[in-house]
Structure 1
């Protein structure tokens, strides 16, 4: 009788173990072992930042990560309790109550040969899906897998190998940044700058120092949307103390605005966007106000009415004036608004009578300017030699007080006409002395006159001053 009871108990135990082994599965997204069993794993590493080491995991499937809470606390307090310096491996399983214990195998990769070598094999006393790595692992490349043992002590599930890297962490710090030209963190785009900066701080390592200990550098724009991110060229690094850097930026990529120079080490610690790392890029002269005037000579291109009655399409007795307000200045050019006006005296004399009148044109325009600068002979600055301008807008073209005058003093009624027109043209400003410039300007004007298709080309030359 006792033998039958013992046999029955053994059969019940085996059936229970089989059920437990069948139910010990996890999600479809987890890693599948060679025998078809699966185990989903996740790496979590935390360590004291006050030491010279910190950990961050990185894998092909993206499950590994650095403990953000531990990193933040490490930044706030270098004197952390011992438990904050521990490293942990964590994983998930849907039915941990059917697991008797786990076993974790850790291997290290030789950076020279690429050969993996087993360095740890830890067994958890219960079914807690978390293990403390003790002693902590030094910086390097590692991989691990987890074995799951069922209620009768048989390994019935295992994960695939998952790689992670532990980086050596040094919190970078930026104490100052200054341009090589003016020894200031403020750059002026209307002055010469070679793009070279000197950085003073702490833990400023060369980007390619080693696979587990390096620092990356960026100049990050402070704009809320589409902030520019520029990567500098490292000209020189303080290899001994890592307290200074000489870097260079392509000045053609810098536009007006504020930027922060940020250093980020391999573990993800960064210097932050502090006041000492701020770089300001602007124009020394924020707004331009141009005033010019001179001689013009309108040439009527089409509609022969005026030429038919007055015998000419070219009218040299003309003057012009122009003013431009340029408040928006960027690396790619200047944007602003302007007003232009011209006046022409028209007249012709025939036997017994003459025809006299006036032609004027006034416009409001959008203005785009592109400054051209060259290096000075000493190489220490830039000189503004010219500005290329394009403009266009709308306005009015008027023919007024146009009348026939006879020798006996009789005059016809004057003709006055005000018509909508548009203007498009370009100009070149040649700077001679200081802000004085000579201007060459060519405009095309089309006026919407009733019963006439009136268009003219207006070349002009003059002098101007930039306030």
Structure 2
């Protein structure tokens, strides 16, 4: 008799285990067969007293084609078996649970009160249940009642709110800027950031926390990870939900390619493709500047030059600079450059004279900020000025410095090549679209043994931008 009892208990355990596996397998299969067009209930739920709060999951497909409403209804009926809605929760000790009961209430919008619409019970202690009949879009709340192994209600959760959204697939068929009726913006031009957008299912943004049908809009940048989407200001809606007018802050639009994305309440959004693409760029991809002019070096400290040559100011000097600016953005241009100067230094005294050449050369990191103004009676802007900061390492070369005495007696030449750094600023004032005059100043610090050499080079030049 004892053996039969044990066999019976073993068979019951196998049956229960098989049933649990079947339920989990069935849940997974239903989820995998769910429609691509679905509406999802999103939840931010607090913790309940014992264990984690239940999590609501909901899916529903809905076709809204105005020209083929009848076909959509027939398609919805055919796919009814594929629609599913689940409530799922977690339990710390399911082995001590016989089953669960789920109470669902719907919010009556006009009254602002909840009314019970369904009670569901699990057959076992599985922590999920399929909602039947399907809930239509709306605002709901639910609670879960836990029954212990002898069938007595033991734990009752708090109420948790959730929404089932209406699902509409947004579509974008065209996007263009109002200033040039194109999807390409040039940062040299005047842009108000306003775009006209056409498509389907372009609904209003959410107006309240209980909205079950709405659309949100953003501009997403391509090929840039973790970029924050730009959210527009909606200027105009279309009654048929087929047209939008939006405005972006032009200060937030940098060089690059963007996609305008519309996402409905359920999470459906239009694919990123050429139809919703915006390109922001400069008309001229790279700038190449070259200039040359006059500089007046002034030695600021160390008396070596003054003691031997009698002055710290040397007017016979020339300077030249070139810059290559391949990285252009709305907040400024970045590039590389080279600068150099030549100074002829000489002094005559009663019994001797001294002369030599001071040559500097530096590689530069360059930042430029263009300044543009609106052209009268035009949508274009004129480039009137560029403000520049630059600096970098290089060399300062004391070349062929000699003392000359009577009877053609000369000292050995002094040649000294020294590492130095350059830091400076400039303003380029444009006379024409390419020709400019430049004023600025560079500070040069040379690391010379037994000598602290610092020099200021104010300059004025003429330049050309290629």
- Please give the TM-score of this superposition, normalised by the length of structure 2: 0.79
**1:316-374 CA-partner distances (Å, limit 9, x unpaired):** 11111101111222233222111111111122233454323221111111111122222
Q: Where in structure 2 are the equivalents of 1:341-356 lying within 5 Å?
A: 341-351=340-350, 353-356=352-355
- Decide whether the 8 Å contact of 1:49 with 1:169 is kept in 2: no
Note the C-alpha offset of 1:130.
Answer: 5.8
- Decide whether the 8 Å contact of 1:47 with 1:87 is kept in 2: no
**1:230-259 CA-partner distances (Å, limit 9, x unpaired):** 111111111x11111111111111222222
- Decide whether the 8 Å contact of 2:62 with 2:167 is kept in 1: no
- Decide whether the 8 Å contact of 2:363 with 2:393 is kept in 1: yes
Distance 1:389 1:225 in 2: 30
Aligned to 2:454: 455
Q: Where in structure 2 are the equivalents of 1:113-128 lying within 5 Å?
A: 113-121=111-119
Q: Secondary structure at the match of 1:292?
A: strand
Aligned to 1:306: 305
- Decide whether the 8 Å contact of 2:300 with 2:312 is kept in 1: yes
Aligned to 2:270: 271
Aligned to 2:27: none
Q: Secondary structure at the match of 1:272?
A: coil
Q: Where in structure 2 are the equivalents of 1:23-38 lying within 5 Å?
A: none
CA 95–319 in structure 1, closer or farther in 2 if over 3 Å, else same: closer
Distance 1:440 1:194 in 2: 33
Aligned to 1:231: 231
Aligned to 1:182: 180
Match of 1:206 among 200, 204, 207: 204
Per mean C-alpha deviation after superposition, the further-off stretch among 272-281 and 315-324 is: 272-281
Note the C-alpha offset of 1:463.
Answer: 0.8
Q: Where in structure 2 are the equivalents of 1:235-274 lying within 5 Å?
A: 235-238=235-238, 240-274=239-273
Aligned to 2:5: none
- Decide whether the 8 Å contact of 2:54 with 2:89 is kept in 1: no
Note the C-alpha offset of 1:95.
Answer: 5.4
Q: Where in structure 2 are the equivalents of 1:365-380 lying within 5 Å?
A: 365-378=364-377, 380=379
Matched, 1:289 2:274: no
- Decide whether the 8 Å contact of 1:395 with 1:420 is kept in 2: yes
Distance 1:361 1:117 in 2: 86
Distance 1:354 1:296 in 2: 24
**1:81-135 CA-partner distances (Å, limit 9, x unpaired):** 2212344445566658974x76543212233442212233456788887655454
Match of 1:170 among 154, 168, 171: 168
Gaps of 5+ in 1: 1-43
Distance 1:292 1:414 in 2: 32
Aligned to 2:316: 317
Note the C-alpha offset of 1:201.
Answer: 0.9
CA 203–347 in structure 1, closer or farther in 2 if over 3 Å, else same: same
Matched, 1:58 2:43: yes
Distance 1:388 1:321 in 2: 17
Distance 2:292 2:125 in 1: 89
Note the C-alpha offset of 1:199.
Answer: 1.2
CA 73–237 in structure 1, closer or farther in 2 if over 3 Å, else same: closer
Q: Secondary structure at the match of 1:309?
A: helix
Aligned to 2:28: none
Note the C-alpha offset of 1:378.
Answer: 2.9
Aligned to 1:195: 193
**1:380-427 CA-partner distances (Å, limit 9, x unpaired):** 122222111111112121222222334644433332222221111111
Note the C-alpha offset of 1:209.
Answer: 5.0
Q: Secondary structure at the match of 2:410?
A: coil
- Please give the TM-score of this superposition, normalised by the length of structure 1: 0.79
- Decide whether the 8 Å contact of 2:138 with 2:212 is kept in 1: yes
Q: Secondary structure at the match of 1:448?
A: strand
Note the C-alpha offset of 1:148.
Answer: 5.5
- Decide whether the 8 Å contact of 2:41 with 2:164 is kept in 1: yes
Match of 1:110 among 108, 116, 122: 108
Per mean C-alpha deviation after superposition, the further-off stretch among 352-361 and 191-200 is: 352-361
Note the C-alpha offset of 1:291.
Answer: 0.3
Aligned-residue RMSD, C-alpha: 3.2
Q: Secondary structure at the match of 2:306?
A: helix
Per mean C-alpha deviation after superposition, the further-off stretch among 383-392 and 158-167 is: 158-167
Note the C-alpha offset of 1:197.
Answer: 1.2
Distance 2:410 2:34 in 1: 101
Distance 1:349 1:56 in 2: 91
Q: Secondary structure at the match of 2:103?
A: strand
Q: Where in structure 2 are the equivalents of 1:63-142 lying within 5 Å?
A: 63-66=54-57, 80-90=78-88, 99=98, 103-121=101-119, 133-142=131-140
- Decide whether the 8 Å contact of 2:368 with 2:388 is kept in 1: yes
- Decide whether the 8 Å contact of 2:371 with 2:386 is kept in 1: yes
Distance 1:350 1:150 in 2: 112
- Decide whether the 8 Å contact of 2:189 with 2:379 is kept in 1: no
Q: Secondary structure at the match of 1:308?
A: helix
Note the C-alpha offset of 1:227.
Answer: 2.0
